[in-house]
Amino acid sequence: MRQFFRVTELLKEPYSTILGYPKATKAQLKSRAMELKTLGIDGVSFEGPMEINKLNVLGKGYAGIVVMAKMKTKKVALKIRRTDSPRKDMRNETILLNVANKVGVGPKLIASSKNFVVMEFVAGIKIYDWVSNLKGKGSTAKMKNVIKKVLTDCYKLDEAGLDHGELSNITKHVIVGKNITMIDFESASLERKSSNVTSASQAILIGSGLAKMVSKIYKLPPKQKIISVLRNYKEEKTRQSFDEVLETLKLS
Boundary of a domain, candidates 79, 96, 120: 120
> What is the spatial distance between Cα 210 and Cα 171, in angstroms, rounded to a whole number?
7
Range of the domain at 146: 125-248
Q: Are 11 and 29 in contact (CB under 8 A)?
A: yes
Query: Residue 81 maps to which CATH number?
Result: 3.30.200.20
Task: Quote the CA–CA distance of 58 and 126 in Å, as a whole number.
Answer: 11
Contact 38, 44 (CB under 8 A): no
Of 103, 120, 137, the residue that ends a domain is 120
48 and 61 share one domain: yes
- 199 and 157, same domain (yes or no): yes
How confident is the model at residue 86, as a pLDDT? 93
N-to-C CA span, the chain: 43
Q: State if pTM tops 0.85.
A: yes
Give the pLDDT confidence score for residue 208 in this predicted structure: 77
Same domain for 109 and 176?
no
Structural domains of the chain, count: 2
CB distance 59 to 84 below 8 Å = no
The reported pLDDT for the residue numbered 1 is 65
pLDDT in tens, the chain (252 residues): 679 999 999 999 999 999 999 999 999 999 999 999 999 999 999 999 999 999 999 999 889 999 999 999 999 999 999 999 999 999 999 999 999 999 999 999 999 999 999 999 999 999 999 999 999 999 999 999 999 999 999 999 999 999 999 999 999 899 999 999 999 999 999 999 999 999 999 999 997 799 999 999 999 999 999 999 999 999 999 999 999 999 999 998
CATH number at residue 173: 1.10.510
Looking at the fold, whether 63 and 177 belong to one and the same domain comes out as: no
Which of 85, 105, 120 is where one domain is finished? 120
CA 89 to CA 240: how far, in whole Å?
Answer: 39
Residues 134 and 215 in one domain: yes
Q: Are 90 and 117 in contact (CB under 8 A)?
A: yes
**Whether residue 97 sits in one domain with residue 22:** yes
CA distances in angstroms from 228 to 183, 216, 233, listed in the order given: 28, 22, 9
